[in-house]
Amino acid sequence: MPRSIILDVDTGTDDAIAIMMAALSPEIDLVACTTVWGNRPVEDTTDNTLRVLDYINRSDIPVYRGLDEPFGPIVVPQPNPSDDHSGGKMHPKELDLPPASSVAQTQGAVEWLVETLRARTEPITLVPVGPLTNIAAAITLDPSIIDKVDEIVIMGGAHAFGNATPSAESNIWHDPVAADVVFKAGFERIVLVPLDSTHDALVTGAQASELQALGTPAGLATAICIQQRIVAHDESQPQAIPDSAPIHDAVCIAYLLDPAVIPLNHLHVGIETTGVRTFGRTVIDVRHRGMEEPNAFVALTADADVFYRLLKECVSIQR
């Protein structure tokens, strides 16, 4: 029986690939996509989400527009939160896909999340791969909804290095107060997929060409996104493997399909919400030096071969 998930996205290039994997895999029932600000303003992330689903013939999956500003106050000065170090090349305003003919639902994402989770009789998995703004707002409105979630799989954070700042990963840096709320909420199982693991699962330009050669809509769209990411990374964040880029958000979907892709460590994760140089940092207690009990299962490595196999299997499917 497919696993039911809700995918919360700030759709730029890596979110797009995660959406396609989740929407096409027969092992996943993608109940809906909720959108949030982050890589771009929510107007853009919603439009891009609709473009992706239309392009792969999954416009039957509803899209709910979420919040467009942080849940918590920004207490440390920071650049425009919708900017990235690539000057917009990593996550363009409009993905290089045809305009969508479908439209977002009229109900807002936060209200829909609360209403849907309240009504669930079977557990569901939350997969937020953008700032945690929508999730924090929903559980603040009704903390009981966490009991309907069997697992929350979060793309965000970093132990060894950041990408928004030297200390912080972009999703958490955008709204660390929201992340703090989520990590303290009491979810039964939190899985954190930080940069440490996603940078172990790099995809190369040659592999992008393989996916393009599949000839499927998802293969073509994935190749476009990967090639954009490689160009942007080469300019702003060169990778250890030449002509490659991480596809952060897609690693979360790969984990749902085959947990072997990311070995997990049971650790305590805290969110820094006030530090001038460490604002948005995920403090991951890898050596158990703190007094707090582990609250998350954290992936610090990944198997690139397993990831690419799962990616290729998903985007080879045509609906």
Among candidate residues 8, 10, 14, 47, the one labeled active-site is: 10
**Beta carbons of 171 and 143 less than 8 angstroms apart:** no
- What is the rounded distance in angstroms from the CA atom of residue 249 to the CA atom of residue 48? 15
Query: Which positions ≥6 away from 114 have C-beta within 8 Å?
Result: 138, 141, 142, 145
Find the angle CA(300)-CA(164)-CA(268) to the nearest 5 degrees.
35
Which sign does the torsion angle of CA 101, 228, 86, 275 carry?
positive
Helix (H, G, I), strand (E, B) or coil at 311: helix
- What is the rounded distance in angstroms from the CA atom of residue 318 to the CA atom of residue 23? 11
Residue that is written with structure tokens 């700030």 in the block:
10
Residue 120, Cβ density class (10 Å: 0-12 exposed, 13-18 middle, ≥19 buried):
middle
State phi, psi for 283 to the nearest 5 degrees. Answer: -90, 105
Which residue, 38, 37, 58, is CA-closest to 101?
A: 58
Whether 10 is catalytic is: yes
User: What letter does residue 200 receive in the DSSP assignment?
Assistant: T
Which residue, 72, 21, 23, 82, is CA-closest to 280?
A: 72
Residues serving a catalytic function are: 10
